[in-house]
Structure 1
């Protein structure tokens, strides 16, 4: 293993085990996660689900080679109390939002299944490569014990990449919401670092790495006293593991008065007038950060002229 650099919160650790044709990602979210959650008053079940989805978003987003690219995760209901879950990652900027029926969610208990939360819902994972204008999307049923397992099905069906995903989230009385995750993927011999790969499913090297990674405990993923390098060493100390820090993660809601004014400027003037309140302002509600933006009509008109 290369020199220990000690990665703790809000920065993924990228690693490869070349001899076993494996690549991986580890991440633990703390302050960034708490900032995102602090904008809402989610009940515990919703908070845990969104925390797990945000970890998954970072794990998948950190596989993008283009830092200007974006990875979007969307889970939509098939009749369950969770109506919509959306997270996205772009260049280390992370945001997420959850829409749900509070009364129905309260009936599912403290440890619901994916089916209890979503019904026969689906998971859509989209990679937008800004540099090449390429867009890849896979849609799979929300099946399995967790949203991580549903993502494993995505890689198996859409990318033909054998993967293991482990995610844990908990609420610490002092630190607030903490969550961590591991993504492990098998790449064919000589293909470390390449995209959209096809692999054999009976490879003993992959089976060995997957079996070891599966021993990782939830409490280890969320333990603030254990660095991500230490976790990688505990799991794979028999192998040569190459590690490097990924892009630091922060709450990245892209809402602003200027942005919304630009969007509203695309509407006809008569429609903007219908949207305005008695004070001549259009109030925009950003679901991601739970903020309201009152934008005067004359400011939108000014933006239009500037364009």
Structure 2
């Protein structure tokens, strides 16, 4: 870095920032969501614990989505259980478009108090992370138990177990009042390069990774969500003593529900005609509810 940006004029709210520390074989992503987050949350009257959970999940989806090229690839994160207050949490990120939804049991949630733990919300649930790569690059998925104190910890475990990539993730959420703000940072150690050979063995005690992880882990929650501290300034504060840090401005992030009458026509066309007839109401209309944006579509 050649500058020391500290003011709000460079704030990347609602935008990804990528960076690489080549001398440490590390890469990172930083994101902060404000208006986009409010738009997504406004589709449903979520209670505070679910608002906080979904806000963190959306940050994680954006961070992981920022790891793939903006070429039509999609990253989907899904947490599911049959024993917890939360039945399903799903978020995805594609080309700068972010969306998410939580299905939960209101009565069971009300019994958990104001700040339920991850285990209280999900019980013995699991987290599935899917990378749908554009073109013929394929699709791959990893599944890990929902263990630890947060979704961030579960995502760290996913990267280490499924991809053998040491990863540090920090998320911060400020809810309440007129709006909700959430932000996060992801750091990874890639000793063979971002697109290098398969990583047969990962070392959490690698000296280069230990150095980067200690610096990255020093970030405070209030710094991540501080509107007067740009994302570039956060990277500068953490890593300004490194020989070189390459910073790249990423995608602007918007609420990206892809529902439309045309979309559902295409989806329903894949069903046999007899099945579509069974879906129609007394007026011959198929009503489709979009959980992401809380809208209903009438398909003739």
User: 2 CA distance for matches of 1:169 and 1:294?
Assistant: 36
TM-score (norm 1): 0.91
Equivalence for 2:75 = 71
Task: Compute the displacement of 1:192 (Å).
Answer: 4.7
User: 1 CA distance for matches of 2:93 and 2:198?
Assistant: 19
Equivalence for 2:140 = 136
1:177 and 2:215 aligned: no
The 1:196–1:96 alpha-carbon spacing in structure 2 relative to 1, beyond 3 Å, is farther
Task: Compute the displacement of 1:273 (Å).
Answer: 3.0
Task: Tell me, yes or no, if the aligned pair for 2:11 and 2:228 is still in contact at 8 Å.
Answer: no
Equivalence for 1:299 = none
The SS at the match of 1:12 is strand
1:231 and 2:229 aligned: no
Runs of 4+ in 1 over 6 A off after TM superposition: none
Give the length in aligned residue pairs: 294
Matches within 5 A, 1:78-227: 78-174=82-178, 176-188=179-191, 191-192=193-194, 194=196, 197=199, 198-227=201-230
User: 1 CA distance for matches of 2:19 and 2:142?
Assistant: 25
Task: Compute the displacement of 1:172 (Å).
Answer: 4.9
The SS at the match of 2:124 is coil
1:276 to 259, 276, 280: 280
Task: Compute the displacement of 1:171 (Å).
Answer: 1.5
Equivalence for 1:56 = 60
User: 2 CA distance for matches of 1:238 and 1:15?
Assistant: 15
Provide Cα deviations, 1:23-48, integer angstroms capped at 9, x if missing partner. 00000011111111111110010011
Task: Tell me, yes or no, if the aligned pair for 1:264 and 1:272 is still in contact at 8 Å.
Answer: yes
The 1:173–1:205 alpha-carbon spacing in structure 2 relative to 1, beyond 3 Å, is same
Give 5+ residue unaligned stretches, structure 1: 297-307
Task: Compute the displacement of 1:167 (Å).
Answer: 0.8
User: 2 CA distance for matches of 1:214 and 1:257?
Assistant: 45
User: 2 CA distance for matches of 1:253 and 1:161?
Assistant: 31
User: 1 CA distance for matches of 2:251 and 2:41?
Assistant: 21
User: 1 CA distance for matches of 2:156 and 2:32?
Assistant: 19
Task: Compute the displacement of 1:183 (Å).
Answer: 0.2
Task: Compute the displacement of 1:274 (Å).
Answer: 2.9
User: 2 CA distance for matches of 1:254 and 1:39?
Assistant: 14
User: 2 CA distance for matches of 1:214 and 1:155?
Assistant: 17
The SS at the match of 1:120 is coil
1:33 and 2:44 aligned: no
Task: Tell me, yes or no, if the aligned pair for 2:80 and 2:126 is still in contact at 8 Å.
Answer: yes
Task: Compute the displacement of 1:19 (Å).
Answer: 1.4
1:10 and 2:14 aligned: yes
1:264 and 2:274 aligned: no
Task: Tell me, yes or no, if the aligned pair for 1:7 and 1:13 is still in contact at 8 Å.
Answer: no
User: 1 CA distance for matches of 2:121 and 2:197?
Assistant: 32
Provide Cα deviations, 1:11-68, integer angstroms capped at 9, x if missing partner. 1110011111110000001111111111111001001101100100000011012521
Task: Compute the displacement of 1:113 (Å).
Answer: 1.4
User: 2 CA distance for matches of 1:213 and 1:265?
Assistant: 49
